[in-house]
Amino acid sequence: MKNISILGATGSIGQNTLDLISRERDKFKVIGLTGDNNIELLAESAIKFKADVVATANDSKFHDLKDLLSEHKIEVCAGINGLLEVASRQAEWVMSAIVGSAGLQPGLRALEAGANLALANKESMVAAGPIMKKMSEAKGVKLIPVDSEHSAISQVIRGEERNSLSKIIITASGGAFRHLTKDELVDVTPKQASKHPNWSMGKRITIDSASLFNKALEVIEAKEFFDFKESEIEVLIHPQSLVHAIACFCDGGMKAHIGPPDMRHAIAYALYEEKRFKLTLEDVDLAEVGMLNFEKPDLNKYPALKLGFDVVRQGGLAGAAFNAAKEEALDNFLALKLSFLGMADVVRATMEELLSKNMLSSKVELEAVMDIDLQARSIAKTFVNKF
């Protein structure tokens, strides 16, 4: 039996992970689950899966969560210390599925405690890839990609020699607004941006998919996971969301990973540590699909993507700053204080200011990452009213 924990258990990835666990209950023991505001779902999941310990990130929900679990022998904790407590418990495998930079410390703690970490929380790799990798190496544990593109990359390069690889292509659906022109994006709302044509995901990543900020994060994540240079990563718009990554080799050969747009494939590949598990999900019927289309993204319409490539080139603390500025911009878009297109303007202006002050070149260490995160958010705030 494998001991597992899920950080961000109440979210889309967390619940999909529990769905997979429920198919083979005798193979897994759930140690800990965490959530934030949705304590009802957290309690329900903890009871159903007989978790030992749960934590809500929200301190003010501690007593309500305790009440919901009063008839069960499940330990309850709260706040960042609660999350770290759950992440520290002895688990062999931990899913890191908190959204945003809040996932960094708990994920890192799980690695430190000796768990193999399945990483959906791309933000921790973007902000602190070298720290995550160093910890996994020091502890001799695996860092397993869960993002569908990165899971696909790991599958297409498996067994290949690194120096035979000339380029990797990751795909983007184009999100909610792929049929709109840049001019038509001026007035779009968070509600419109929250509807993804192919994937069912949390709200923030769905909006990031419409702006291609999500793809920008994934470009940086690809660099951190697999040590690609900027020139070795390409993004293509692929509206069907069936091809997730393509490896291009020096002899002209290409290997593509095709799978349905259902995160349970990538999660299962991570859960079974790169072994195949029979999933009763709908297969892709290629004859019915008929055509797979690819096109180059319009960087004028999707300025966020260019910013992501800039970060890959800049290195250092650029990833942490970019992610923090992006989170601040997204918060303001959600609060109707910033337009959809204004998000990229705010992030670009923030990055330019940090670069001009030479604030991104320090070594990637946890304290420096946390510090630049705060600085980037505070600078981004000052630009919100200007765009």
Cβ atoms 153, 225 nearer than 8 A:
yes
Applying the rule CB under 6 A, the residues between 103 and 132 that interact with ligand NDP are 120-123
Give dist(CA 228, CA 359) in Å, integer. 24
> Does 303 engage in binding with ligand NDP (CB under 6 A)?
no
Lookup: tokens for 163? 């120096």
User: What residues pair up with 295 in beta bridges, in sequence order?
Assistant: 237
Provide the minimum distance between the beta carbon of 56 and ligand NDP in the complex, in angstroms, as a whole number: 7
Residue of 38, 194, 198, 362 interacting with ligand NDP (CB under 6 A):
38
CA angle 23, 28, 34 (to 5 degrees): 95
> Does 193 engage in binding with ligand NDP (CB under 6 A)?
no
Residue of 43, 76, 84, 97 interacting with ligand NDP (CB under 6 A):
97
Write down the residue that tokens 């945003």 correspond to: 100
Applying the rule CB under 6 A, the residues between 52 and 91 that interact with ligand NDP are 57
Rank residues 99 and 346 by Cβ distance to ligand NDP and give the closer one. 99
Applying the rule CB under 6 A, the residues between 200 and 259 that interact with ligand NDP are 201-205
Rank residues 15 and 166 by Cβ distance to ligand NDP and give the closer one. 15
Provide the minimum distance between the beta carbon of 45 and ligand NDP in the complex, in angstroms, as a whole number: 10
Beta strand residue intervals within the chain, DSSP E: 2-7, 28-35, 53-56, 75-78, 93-96, 116-119, 143-145, 165-172, 233-237, 243-249, 254-258
> Does 8 engage in binding with ligand NDP (CB under 6 A)?
yes
Q: Find, among 2, 274, 276, the residue nearest to 115 by Cα.
A: 2
Residues in binding contact with ligand NDP, number by CB under 6 A: 28
**Looking at the chain, how many residues does it have?**
387
Indicate the DSSP class of residue 189.
-
Residue of 102, 125, 143, 376 interacting with ligand NDP (CB under 6 A):
102
Name, in order, each residue with C-beta under 8 angstroms of 19's C-beta and a sequence gap of 6 or more: 264
Q: Where does residue 79 fall: left (phi above 0), alpha (psi -120 to 50 degrees), or beta otherwise? A: left
Which region among 6-14, 45-53, 167-175, 286-294 touches ligand NDP (by CB under 6 A)? 6-14
Which region among 21-29, 95-103, 173-181, 358-366 touches ligand NDP (by CB under 6 A)? 95-103
Provide the minimum distance between the beta carbon of 354 and ligand NDP in the complex, in angstroms, as a whole number: 23
Site residues, ligand NDP (CB under 6 A): 8-14, 35-38, 57, 97-99, 102, 120-123, 147, 199, 201-205, 263
